[in-house]
Structure 1
Amino acid sequence: MAVETETADVVIVGGGPVGLLLACELGMAGVRPVVLERLPEPSTEIKANGLIGQVVRFLDHRGLSERFEGVSGAPGTVPGYLFGALPLDLSVLETNPLTVLPATQQRIEQVLRGRAEELGVEIRRGHEVTGLRQDEERVTAEVRGADGAYELRARYLVGCDGGKSTVRKRAGIVFAGDPGHDLVSRAAYATVPASVLVPGTGELEVPGVGRISPVFTFTRTRNGIFAFAALPDGNHRLLTLEWGAPPEGDDAPMTLGDMRDSVARVLGTEVPLDEPSGPGPHMLRRLVGRNTRLAERYRSGRVFVAGDAAHVHSAVGGPGLNLGLQDAANLGWKLAAEVRGWAPEGLLDSYHTERHAAGLRVFMHTQAQTALMTPGPEVTALRELFGELLHSPDNIRHLASLLAGDDVRYPATGDHPLAGRFAPDLALGTGAGPARLAGLMRSGRPVLLDLGAEPRLTEVAAGWKDRVDVVAARCTRPPSRALLVRPDGYVAWAAADGESCEEARAGLGRALEASFGRPGGDDGAAG
């Protein structure tokens, strides 16, 4: 019996946040993706509790942060954060890069799924990819669905299917790294009796340790790490980190009793924990190891990997979705350019170049933070020295930028300090009234922003009007007289101070062609 074969522009394997955002980016650009998700229904497993860092600014560019929070305007920032369980006072910074968007993973998926459906993206739940093959022109996914097996052929396929990615394995992409079996993380929701909480503050009173704040700060002891937080429903979230093999065994189902025992070992005293109240879902999870792996390449022919399929690492600092969603933002417009026919040579390969380097940065700082939390007198001394360094605003700024991903700089045309960096959210005056740069990026198209009233400069982009928007605006303190902003929010070129109009025209022309292909061609209008 012949297997039915269907077609699509791009197949996305995995319907989590990364796959859904990629689908949105492609749909906006007029590309027809199909999302294949193995699970028949959305997962209720408790994972992320919010987004932090550069990706929040990108979601603001798409108007999606308003859907999460129900309010318009620039996203907010956190006044403080932690690096390796050491406090960072971000209030001393003139510009705070740690933007935040509180939302559960279920809510994140709900918003992104709703946007994808608005754009006409087809999402097939209960469809599992069992194999794939590719040739010079197409990639074919072998799929098992509720009605049987079929094949789905496309120009490209992207694996957003998690750390155990079938796509990555079938594409032969090496997932190099270290499982690190010596660290055990336990997390649970529970009810902490009022008898051990400080009235009025909700702090946990622990003999020999002191009072522990209910706002999820980390307490380091000679036996590990403990944290807890009061939840809105009256329950508490608890976390422990211990070094060494779990006494209950790697494969044994975790129980609330295991959590009690772990808390007692870390704090040196028992803390009464009762079953959580309410309908749930309630967290009860044990993770063994500090699995740190990075795909050696993010592309294999017509197959790409993104999100956890490309990298897994410690969750300390909460960088996972910040990193993975920006993979999708980076890849989306480049795949669309290739499908629409105007991508310059090498554009798709730049996805690996740019995002693999970003992954290495996250690997570095999550491993450094884990090392700073390890028990032992030598680490205690290191933390004391590190704490002294954190009195310097320059060092705080450096770590905040690292945690946010704000230090990422892609290859770009020209030497302007903004070239290759995420564009600042400028307050602008335009012919249509006040605007923010984020508002100009809603369509997902590149923007050439003229801040110097130089039509001779911006007329260079006339040959790219099918795919680049030109906007003339005023700004109180313009960082440059002109900026070329990529669809993912990064600056492809900025006019340097002191260069002549002819020099700027030449640089802009090179940047337009390097990022957006030769002038003319297919209509790249966003849908």
Structure 2
Amino acid sequence: MPTIPPYDVIIVGAGPVGLLLSCELRLAHCSVLVLEQAPHPHSPFKQAPFGIRGLNIPSLEALQRRGLLDAVTASLHSDSAPSASRPPWMQHARRPGGHFAGMQFFQDQIDTAAWPYRLPSNASESMPTTMERLESVLAQRAADLGVELRRGVRVTDIAQWLEGVLVQAGDVQLQASWLVGCDGGRSQIRNTAGFDFVGTEPEFTGYSVEVELENSSVLTPGRHYTDTGMYTFQPPGTIAMVAFDGGAFHGSTPITAEHVQTVLRRVSGTNATVQSLQLAATWTDRARQTTSYRKGRVLLAGDAAHIHSPLGGQGLNLGIGDAMNLGWKLAATVHGDAPPDLLDSYTAERHPVGAQVLDWSRAQVALMRPSAATRALASIVHDLIATRDGATYFADRVWGATLRYDLDDPHPLVGRSAPDFALADGSTLAVHLQTGQGLLLELDTAAPLRGMAMGWQGRLSYIASRAADELGLRSLLVRPDGIVAWVADGVAQQEPAAAAIQRWFGPPQR
């Protein structure tokens, strides 16, 4: 079989996670090949309405820190966008901030002052986009950076050894130092590499359908819980519904208009009649996660590492967080700059976040079950979410406003996203992260650490500048993914600063 010269990294899957990861690796000058089984990226389920996704704060900050935020959110966030292509909630006077099992909380209820170390920015609250728009922007950026992307390629087998991975794609063998599976919930890479994938089995089959109804007036617009399930209806024919059948129908047989009508009548308790079926897809609440995101030289990100129901739209955001966390760490490992345990910190930091999202999804399913006890519990949660403290709590969880990694440092900012300081020259911190390097920032004109970053040139940038609001801080070390790795409240000392830099960026250049 022919052998293609090796790459630093092969990524399987050209969805948002795989594309963003490829961009992160190319920013660090790794050679990257992306393989995608689908021959083209187009799908009606990536367009509005089914393709609309809410991006949480960490996702928006990731895009902002790479100069991609405006391009990704412009099409739906713009007031001039056609109303038919915008989420229904964006057309209401009182703007919802999100929901938990269909129970909405609103922007005007949220107390953002409860979230320390957050400064106003374009990434301060959840925003919508479509999967199509996000993938298009990321694919263009990947092409601009020199990522090689091959579509219509199916991986059939992989083998790894001490120094690399062999990927079988059709009649071609491809070699790389590392392989990352970003190939979705049914990941071929995960299955072939033998990752443990543990969790809970589904309780329902969910349906997303676009239909033509003979008598749409029998359905009430909005979300409705019934004695047999749940359905949402957006006229004239956009329907999502849940049937608690243990996930029996998902992927079992083709979806027909007759079947959709049967389920719709059972769940809604009406005589709704489906004249024709334009689009249909099913999904479940199966919730599983790999016990580790790495096995030798094979890593997983996105749905390949964790699956759960799409309730609340957390899956895309979880995958974007995986890509941002993994990209710079894998690049440093490729270049030999990484501390010995840097790549292991990917699982250590992201696995708990994934586990939390899976439980968040399970909790929503528990409030959707068609029983009197569930409706009583949901009523109590509804009352709580309607309070200011409740709305703030749920917004924090849905938006990821105070997400924090445990980096073994007691300072409350370490492990959190860096504040987007407005610096004296008119720039913001986010702009200075667009190169994909880390940042040593001194909000101190005395600048006792000036010159220190020279030992990590190419991996770490340095800025000394005052800021409009310095939050009582003097110096910060920010990782390439925007996470604060070290803070000095008082005068910065070179010794602890150097130790923190070496922990995350390896030894200085000689």
TM-score, length-normalised on structure 2?
A: 0.87
> Which residue in the other structure is 1:493 paired with?
486
Matches within 5 A, 1:141-160: 141-144=167-170, 149-160=171-182
1:62 paired to 2:66:
yes
Instruction: Return the offset for 1:227.
Output: 0.8
Q: Secondary structure at the match of 1:501?
A: coil
Aligned residues of 2:250 and 2:282 also touching (Cα < 8 A): no
Q: How does 1:65-464 map to 2 (within 5 A)?
A: 65-70=69-74, 79-95=96-112, 99-144=125-170, 149-180=171-202, 182-191=203-212, 196=216, 206=219, 211-213=220-222, 218-230=223-235, 235-244=236-245, 251-275=252-276, 282-287=278-283, 289-412=284-407, 414-430=409-425, 434-464=426-456
Distance 1:396 1:301, change over 3 A: same
Alpha-carbon separation, structure 2, partners of 1:452 and 1:21: 34
Partner Cα distance (1:326, 1:354) in 2:
10
Offset, 1:405: 2.8
Structure 2 partner of 1:40: 39
The answer for unaligned runs of 5 or more in structure 2 is 79-89, 116-122
Segment drifting more, 114-123 vs 35-44: 35-44
Deviations 1:77-131 (A, max 9, x none): 9643210111212322243987344332222222111110100111111222211
Matches within 5 A, 1:6-21: 6-21=5-20
User: Residue deviations 1:201-239, cap 9 Å, x none?
Assistant: xxxx65xxxx534xxxx2212221111235xxxx53211
Distance (whole Å) between structure 2 residues aligned to residue 398 and residue 151 of structure 1: 50
SS in 1 for 2:434: coil
1:49 is the counterpart of 2:52: yes
Matched with 1:466 is 458
Say if 2:441 and 2:464, in contact at 8 Å, map to a contact too: yes
Task: Answer whether contact 1:228 1:239 (CA < 8 A) is retained.
Answer: yes
Q: CA deviation at 1:283?
A: 2.8
Q: Which amino acid aligns with 1:336?
A: A
> What amino acid is aligned across from residue 185 of structure 1 in structure 2?
G
**Range with greater deviation from structure 2 (289-298 or 38-47):** 38-47
Counterpart AA for 1:83: F
Give, in angstroms, the shift of residue 247 of structure 1: 9.0
- Equivalent residues, number: 481
Paired residues of 1:221 and 1:375 also in contact (CA < 8 A): yes
What does the per-residue CA deviation read over 1:314-367, in whole Å, with 9 as the maximum and x for residues that have no partner?
A: 110001110011111111101111112211110011111111111001011010
CA distance in 1, matches of 2:377, 2:176: 52
Are 1:513 and 2:506 an aligned pair?
A: no
Write the distance in 1 (CA, Å) between the matches of 2:303 and 2:322: 10
Q: Which letter does structure 2 place at the counterpart of 1:124?
A: R
Question: For the structure 1 residues 68 and 135, does the alpha-carbon distance in structure 2 shift closer, same or farther, using more than 3 Å as the test?
Answer: same
Q: Could you tell me whether the CA contact under 8 Å between 1:35 and 1:122 is conserved in 2?
A: yes
Conserved in 2, the CA contact under 8 Å of 1:414 and 1:494? no
| 2: CA distance, partners of 1:245 / 1:410 | 35
What SS does structure 1 have at the residue aligned with 2:427? strand
> 1:246: Cα distance to partner?
7.7
State the Cα deviation string for residues 284-319 of structure 1 (Å, max 9, x = none).
1223x4211101110011110111110110110001
**In structure 2, distance between residues paired with 1:519 and 1:190:** 61
CA contact (8 A) 2:287 2:306 kept: yes
Q: Unpaired runs of 5+ in structure 1?
A: 198-204, 277-281, 522-527
Deviations 1:487-510 (A, max 9, x none): 1111111223xx4533xx333222
CA drift of 1:16 comes to: 1.4
Indicate the larger mover: 109-118 or 260-269.
260-269
Question: SS at 1:347's partner residue?
Answer: coil
CA distances 1:453-492 after superposition (whole Å, capped 9, x unpaired): 2411344333223311112232232122222211111111
* TM-aligned CA distance change 1:227 to 1:477, over 3 Å: same
Q: C-alpha separation between the residues in 1 aligned to 2:103 and 2:189? A: 38
Q: Distance in 1 between matches of 2:248 and 2:354?
A: 33
Q: Distance between the aligned counterparts of 1:331 and 1:509, measured in 2?
A: 23
Q: Would the aligned equivalents of 1:6 and 1:151 in 2 still touch at CA under 8 Å?
A: no
CA contact (8 A) 2:97 2:395 kept: no
**Is the CA contact (8 Å cut-off) linking 2:213 and 2:237 kept in structure 1?**
yes
TM-score where L is the length of structure 1: 0.85
**Change over 3 Å in CA distance of 1:39–1:168 after alignment to 2:** same
Greater CA drift, 129-138 or 453-462: 453-462
Distance 2:250 2:216 in 1: 30
Shift of 1:31: 0.8
What SS class does the counterpart of residue 225 from structure 1 fall into? strand
Distance change in 2, residues 1:477/1:248 (3 Å): closer
Partner Cα separation in structure 1 for residue 441 and residue 320 of structure 2: 25
